[in-house]
Amino acid sequence: MSRINGFIGRRSFLKLSGLVGGSLMWNMQPTLASEANLNPVNSDEALKRLIDGNNRFLRQKRLYPDQSIRRIHSVSQAQHPFVSVLGCADSRVPVEIIFDEGIGDIFDVRVAGNVASDTAIGSLEYATAILGSQLIVVLGHKRCGAVAEALLDETAPGKISMLVDKIKPAVKDIKSKIQNDSDDAVIANIHYQIAKLHENSIILPELQDKGKLKIVGARYDIDSGKVFIVT
Ligand SMILES: [Zn+2]
C-alpha cells in the first residue's frame, strides 16, 4: 500500500473502503480505520471530548494536548482524527484552539460559510470512510460574513459569488424577516449545509445508516468563545 502523509493510493482507497460497483460493501474488506485504529472514538465520545475541550478553553484551563514533538512523531505515518469539522475559514474560529485539541485530532475542512461543496464532501468522505472519524460537526459561527453576504440582494465580486450562491438558498425564506447579522441565518445555513451532505454524498448517509457516523450542527459564539450544539 502506498501512503504519503497518511493518505493512501486510489487503488487501496477503493479496496479498503469496500467501494465496489458504486456502493459500499463494508463486510467484503476491512477498512483501514478498523485495521489500524486501535483506539476508535465513537460519535458520542467524540462530541463529549469536543464539548469538554471547549469548556476548558472557555475557563482558560487549556491542556494543549497532542502538541508535543512526540505527538508529531506518533502520527507522522498515519492519522486517525477522532472528529471531522466542516467549519468556516473565519480567522476567529480556529478549530484546534476553541476545542483545546492538537495534532492529528481534528480533520479540518474549512471554507467560508462552512459550505458543503463537492470538494468539502470529498474531504469528509475521506476522513470518515477511510480515516475512521465517526463524527462530523458542521460548525457555523455568529456574525459570519459569508452568511451576511448571502442575505444581500447583490452579486459578490469574482469567485466570492460562487461561494455566496451556495448559501443563498439557505436563507431565502427568512431574509426578509431578519437582520444581516442574525443568528437565525447562521443556524439556517448550518441546517442547509448538513442537508447538502446527505443529498450530495452516497458514502456519508451509508455510514450513518450503519451506525458508523453522526453529523451534528454547532454554532460558535465569537463574542464568548462558546460552542452551542444546534442539531
Ligand atoms: Zn464565517
* C-alpha 91 to ligand 1 mean position (Å): 9
Q: How far is the CA of 125 from the centre of ligand 1 (A)?
A: 22
> pLDDT (tens digit, 0 to 9) for every residue of the chain, 231 residues total?
344 444 444 444 444 444 433 444 333 333 444 445 555 799 999 999 999 999 999 999 999 999 999 999 999 999 999 999 999 999 999 999 999 999 999 999 999 999 999 999 999 999 999 999 999 999 999 999 999 999 999 999 999 999 999 999 999 999 888 876 789 999 999 999 999 999 999 999 999 999 999 999 999 999 999 999 998
Helical (H) or strand (E) element with 50: helix 43-58
Q: What is the pLDDT of residue 37?
A: 58
Cα distance between residue 208 and residue 193, in whole Å: 16
**103 CA to centre of ligand 1 in angstroms:** 23
**Spacing, Cα 87 to ligand 1 middle (Å):** 8
Nearest-angstrom CA–CA distance, 6 and 28: 23
End-to-end CA distance of the chain: 39
What is the pLDDT, as a whole number, of residue 2? 40
Ligand 1 center–CA 139 separation, angstroms: 9
Cell numbers 458542521 label which residue?
A: 138
Give the predicted TM-score (pTM) of the model. Answer: 0.86
Distance 112 CA to ligand 1 centre (A): 5
* Distance (Å) from CA 115 to ligand 1 centroid: 10
Domain ranges of the chain: 40-229
Q: Give the per-residue pLDDT at 28.
A: 35
Identify the pLDDT of residue 179: 76
> C-alpha 159: how far from its chain's center?
23
Alpha-carbon Rg for the chain, nearest whole angstrom, is 18
Quote the ligand 1 centre to 65 CA distance (angstroms): 26
> Between β-strands 227-229 and 214-220, what pairing exists: parallel, antiparallel or unpaired?
antiparallel
147 CA distance to ligand 1 centroid (A)? 7
CA distances from 62 to 56, 97, 107 (A): 5, 9, 20
pLDDT at 167: 97
Residue 83's SS3 state is strand
Spacing, Cα 1 to ligand 1 middle (Å): 38
What separation in Å is there between the alpha carbon of 25 and the centre of ligand 1? 37
**CA 149 / ligand 1 centre spacing (Å):** 10
Distance from the CA of 20 to the center of ligand 1, in angstroms? 37
Q: Which CATH architecture has domain 40-229?
A: 3-Layer(aba) Sandwich (3.40)
| Helices 183-200 and 118-125, axial angle in degrees (round to 10) | 70
